[in-house]
Structure 1
């Protein structure tokens, strides 16, 4: 089914492209032959198709832009063919009547390009060196963004503002009345001129935001006033925001003044609702504002190429927390030795680093548990209802092409088929958000699995929740949207969002947490207990799926380690090619799991052990492995995490004291003039988003 839909979409796209080229061909033929019906119909149809695709299928038109047949070329060609047609039509004198129309049309294009130049200047003036959220940045003279059609959509502007001109010229071609074309061109000129004049007002002092130097000066002042102590540093792609979001509750609960430091501008809106101030600093040259601040330590939930840039700040201590722990090699990345400390959940990770011999000293490994696992509910025994809820949460394929990374390709369909054959199973399928991003086979297998589940769900029937449950879900969703969704105006840009997302209301984080819990309860209550589900809703976290399930089937990943917090039964798919004995020996997280082969043999016995706990041979092993992987339950993880943060902050204070005591007079700091030639060079060479910056130390 997905492939059929994909083919239909491609046929539709191809048809649209052919329609554009056919319209131009027909317009050319009609103009050369002076055939008015063909000429006028083709020109009008071409403009209509272009307008439709511009607003409804913009991705399709991007294909034409890649071959240099963009909207400007298309509209210019369309208008030139109209002028050619006017030359071929009797009754219109080229020099006395058509020449003024041609000159007026050229002025329309001149104003369009002038407006585009002004738009570039406006966008640059509204691109500050930092982006903020949860911070009152009104001192930067923030204001609403100009209309998108003027500032950010030149294609939409050209097509929309050219409609009167094109229409008038076509009416002139049909009637021979030169005034129709003049009126249309005059209206287009008026629209272009008025739009340009309106856009220019954003360059005047009343709407122009602070300059780069003024913004950096403001940043220094804000840091001095807020006096942050602990920050979470994050850099990544669009699909990696979950790695930072899982640490928000922990960060906000720490002693001191928390801060979130980002590097990519788009990531500011990817961070979930939080009261913690957020600052995005794209360019490394501006990162050293943090050096003179009170910031003492940074938490790093992920490695990235830009991480080394912040590690250059000697006054800040750095702890690598990772975004999850598993037995994979990626959990023992050699990059970890660049941090002052590596914070892990329990003894298992310490042993993993020790055995990996990647240069991480054992004294720098700190066991802090996993504070964010607190919402996971403990195992209560056999399923009490009619159905056994099984969560299949495979991980993604990874970068190295190892078939053991994910079970989706080799075992996913077999596992799902075996589970769906059991009438007493309710299946929750939650694939990793990056599934298929590297290996197309993983993406194809994921689509086939979804089709299987949808087909099985369609074949089931039974009592459904009443309208009250649906109404409750709508009410809870509206409340959560009110708390988490900023009311952005259509066309709001970065600065306007900074203005809207200023200082949050007091206690909003607690309100969001309560609203989220209520929405999750309403979400599950809105479905019948027998319905299979494909869980891809970003708002619904995997921990909520944990609490709904009686059994987890997954791969070697951090999902398994987190699920162990509940001590519920779990199984791991072995697609590595190893024997079961080798598999268990290689991956400690599998010691308390049932191991499933790619053909899904053993699923029936696994379900039996869940329904009848006396047949479960791994109950004691899960309790022991939980302590080994996640550390002791007393003191609580958050207490240990906070203690580690306080201790590292104290070390940062000691380092800063030593640095001050040994500072040689006359030697500038990293922020002083001429003190860091590399950073200065990066500042000169990097773009507004900081992408070309080299990684140097």
Structure 2
């Protein structure tokens, strides 16, 4: 069922469409019956409503475009009905006076279409084969984008520039004075002509960026100068950027010269603050610029359809790191055997791949730990304060329809109800952002859970933080916004953003990390310790919620594995239909967890064991399972991760040397450095790293 807020919005949208159609009908009737006030009022109302919807409800108007009733058709129909009305107005001669107005109006449309053709050319010239960030690309002759109304918003342009013409014609219809129509159409012609001429200046050499060939030559020279050694490759949809963002700090801490390689243009702005150069190469044909570079290996936090394209480069070694580890089948995807190595956190994942029998050799599985988990604070014993903070963080329903994927549908409301019945519980509810994207029942259950928590929070009262805490949060937010918000004007396009995001501010990533930590601390301090929270703020990471929680309730997911780093108590909801014994045997992450049935009957006993650690039967098991899932704590995960990168880079050097030797001896080999790809051979054995013996 649609949500309560969705129905009024749809009613308003339907009312707006009906009003728009009614305006056209009234305008036509008024023109045919020579009722000037009627068709003039209807025309003005229609134009004003069109302008309003264009700015406030563009998606609504896109529905009309799909049925070929787009803005051009609507404005042309509006003006034609006005001209029809003028034929019925006394005092306006059809040939001597109305004909010039018609010609002028047609000239407005001709200039509009000419401007649109130039806009297409400008956009093409300003669409380079690569998009960069944190890279000085000034050699590509970057400049500011043309006004958005001219280059990218033809509907806004036509409606806005037609206002004088439509207004003048309506005045002529009302008064019979042709001069008003002449002045109005003349102004519209002048606006269209000036806008078209101004837009055309972006096709002149002074504003025209580098050509495709020049851009690719620049890319080769930049790669030769920067000499990258290790890159993170990522391709995905708009909601998947978190999978790459979680590896930014690890990538930047590796020895060598890091690089981020993307495939989707929009993803460049989805990557969070980092000092690492970002290079987006949308077309596979241009990916082979990396082949002749010093790049030795790539990290892959996710599988995608475009991953196979970069795997074709034989001079680069590839390691699959995934974006999280869980006991789900998706964590052992058969696609993993396409990589040179599969990097996992600890022995549990190695066993998982071995048991899955999907073609991944055990020798290709490398245990590197989870470097991102360092910010998670360790367990300190019984909860402090008057409230026990429980984090309920269920995962989403997944693509396969398995009822055991998420507890939201079958157990979520029962779990939340049982927690809210305990007056000593403070509940933090953090649903997966994709909840409800596949199964509407999951979305409906999520909304009911939120309503339950909101209602329970409203019933609570107590002392709240003072104005100082609120002011501190505002100050920290402003500081974080200053560091993370890209101050782009609304009309900025890719090239303008590339120009503004060239060389990054030194140490900016570290400043952002410090500001984020300070903001998170101020965020939690701005709420009372007893208040239930629905955590959907994108800026607030799951690890920050971990540090607030005394207990986690979740599903079989990577959230459990990451939380285990703290060794705090946790519970897993069993909605799979398996018995508890089979559930524990099937999913290793559950071995040190309390298991909740769909009716959530075990919640009171679970809370008792959290408040009294001596009653906790899983304390020792959690420490043991942590080492099994995440590997040893010594040496640190980042050290092991870096060592794995160094080793894989060394293998890439050996392979590159072997390929070069084969080519020198005339032995046929796979396409590689020095092969007929039109690119120079890369020097063997050079790594371009910052340190003498690094990756």
Given the two structures, how large is their TM-score scaled by the length of structure 1? 0.96
Deviation of residue 408 (structure 1)? 0.9
Mark the CA change 1:465 to 1:344 in structure 2 (over 3 Å): closer, same or farther.
Answer: same
Deviation of residue 450 (structure 1)? 1.2
Tell me the SS of whatever aligns to 1:479: helix
State the Cα deviation string for residues 535-578 of structure 1 (Å, max 9, x = none).
Answer: 11111110000000000000000000000000000000111111
State the Cα deviation string for residues 289-322 of structure 1 (Å, max 9, x = none).
Answer: 0000000000000000000000000000000000
- State the distance in 1 between where 2:438 and 2:314 align: 37
Deviation of residue 672 (structure 1)? 9.7
- State the distance in 2 between where 1:405 and 1:260 align: 32
Deviation of residue 410 (structure 1)? 1.1
Mark the CA change 1:121 to 1:268 in structure 2 (over 3 Å): closer, same or farther.
Answer: same
What corresponds to 2:611 in structure 1?
611
1:152 aligns with 2:152: yes
Deviation of residue 459 (structure 1)? 1.7
What corresponds to 1:129 in structure 2?
129
State the Cα deviation string for residues 447-500 of structure 1 (Å, max 9, x = none).
Answer: 111111111112211111111111111111111111112211121111111111
- State the distance in 2 between where 1:2 and 1:549 align: 33
- State the distance in 2 between where 1:2 and 1:99 align: 53
1:222 aligns with 2:222: yes
Mark the CA change 1:378 to 1:495 in structure 2 (over 3 Å): closer, same or farther.
Answer: same
Is the 2:430–2:534 Cα contact (8 Å) retained in structure 1? yes
> After the TM superposition, which parts of structure 1 deviate over 6 Å for at least 4 consecutive aligned residues?
666-669, 671-674
1:578 aligns with 2:578: yes
What corresponds to 1:392 in structure 2?
392
- State the distance in 1 between where 2:648 and 2:74 align: 61
Tell me the SS of whatever aligns to 1:386: coil
* Equivalence map 1:294-693=2 (5 Å): 294-663=294-663, 665=666, 670=671
What corresponds to 1:162 in structure 2?
162
What corresponds to 2:688 in structure 1?
none
What corresponds to 2:234 in structure 1?
234
Query: Which range moves more in the overlay, 593-602 or 278-287?
Result: 593-602
Mark the CA change 1:145 to 1:668 in structure 2 (over 3 Å): closer, same or farther.
Answer: farther
Mark the CA change 1:168 to 1:672 in structure 2 (over 3 Å): closer, same or farther.
Answer: farther
Query: Which range moves more in the overlay, 299-308 or 579-588?
Result: 579-588
Is the 2:36–2:173 Cα contact (8 Å) retained in structure 1? yes
Deviation of residue 670 (structure 1)? 4.4
Is the 2:660–2:673 Cα contact (8 Å) retained in structure 1? no
- State the distance in 1 between where 2:24 and 2:669 align: 65
What corresponds to 1:692 in structure 2?
none
1:43 aligns with 2:43: yes
Is the 1:669–1:675 Cα contact (8 Å) retained in structure 2? no
Deviation of residue 220 (structure 1)? 0.4
Is the 1:119–1:152 Cα contact (8 Å) retained in structure 2? yes
What corresponds to 2:281 in structure 1?
281
- State the distance in 1 between where 2:180 and 2:317 align: 72
Is the 2:553–2:573 Cα contact (8 Å) retained in structure 1? yes
Deviation of residue 673 (structure 1)? 12
Deviation of residue 30 (structure 1)? 0.5
Deviation of residue 674 (structure 1)? 11
Mark the CA change 1:80 to 1:356 in structure 2 (over 3 Å): closer, same or farther.
Answer: same
- State the distance in 2 between where 1:553 and 1:571 align: 5
Mark the CA change 1:27 to 1:70 in structure 2 (over 3 Å): closer, same or farther.
Answer: same
- State the distance in 1 between where 2:162 and 2:457 align: 51
Is the 1:165–1:185 Cα contact (8 Å) retained in structure 2? yes
Query: Which range moves more in the overlay, 1-10 or 487-496?
Result: 1-10
- State the distance in 1 between where 2:217 and 2:536 align: 43
Q: Give the paired residue count.
A: 677
Deviation of residue 422 (structure 1)? 1.2
What corresponds to 2:687 in structure 1?
none
- State the distance in 1 between where 2:641 and 2:344 align: 10
Is the 2:327–2:557 Cα contact (8 Å) retained in structure 1? yes
- State the distance in 2 between where 1:450 and 1:214 align: 54
Is the 1:2–1:447 Cα contact (8 Å) retained in structure 2? no
Deviation of residue 624 (structure 1)? 0.5
State the Cα deviation string for residues 364-413 of structure 1 (Å, max 9, x = none).
Answer: 00000000000000000111101111111111111101110011111111
Mark the CA change 1:533 to 1:264 in structure 2 (over 3 Å): closer, same or farther.
Answer: same
Tell me the SS of whatever aligns to 1:122: helix
1:77 aligns with 2:77: yes
* Equivalence map 1:17-56=2 (5 Å): 17-56=17-56
- State the distance in 2 between where 1:582 and 1:37 align: 79
State the Cα deviation string for residues 63-120 of structure 1 (Å, max 9, x = none).
Answer: 1111111100100000011011111122211111111110000000000000000000
Is the 1:30–1:36 Cα contact (8 Å) retained in structure 2? yes
- State the distance in 1 between where 2:420 and 2:193 align: 64
Tell me the SS of whatever aligns to 2:3: helix
Deviation of residue 229 (structure 1)? 0.3
- State the distance in 2 between where 1:535 and 1:142 align: 41
What corresponds to 1:689 in structure 2?
none
Query: Which range moves more in the overlay, 227-236 or 408-417?
Result: 408-417
Is the 2:350–2:365 Cα contact (8 Å) retained in structure 1? yes
Is the 1:427–1:533 Cα contact (8 Å) retained in structure 2? yes
Tell me the SS of whatever aligns to 2:239: helix
- State the distance in 1 between where 2:363 and 2:135 align: 38
Tell me the SS of whatever aligns to 1:319: strand
- State the distance in 1 between where 2:279 and 2:675 align: 26
What corresponds to 1:109 in structure 2?
109
Mark the CA change 1:41 to 1:671 in structure 2 (over 3 Å): closer, same or farther.
Answer: farther
Is the 1:30–1:38 Cα contact (8 Å) retained in structure 2? yes
What corresponds to 2:683 in structure 1?
none
Tell me the SS of whatever aligns to 2:5: helix
Deviation of residue 666 (structure 1)? 10
Q: Where does structure 2 lack aligned partners over 5 or more consecutive residues?
A: 679-695
Given the two structures, how large is their TM-score scaled by the length of structure 2? 0.96
Is the 1:288–1:670 Cα contact (8 Å) retained in structure 2? no
- State the distance in 1 between where 2:163 and 2:96 align: 24
What corresponds to 1:694 in structure 2?
none
- State the distance in 1 between where 2:454 and 2:156 align: 39
- State the distance in 1 between where 2:439 and 2:276 align: 37
- State the distance in 1 between where 2:483 and 2:326 align: 34
Query: Which range moves more in the overlay, 75-84 or 435-444?
Result: 435-444
Tell me the SS of whatever aligns to 1:239: coil
Deviation of residue 25 (structure 1)? 0.6
- State the distance in 1 between where 2:68 and 2:182 align: 31
Deviation of residue 36 (structure 1)? 1.2
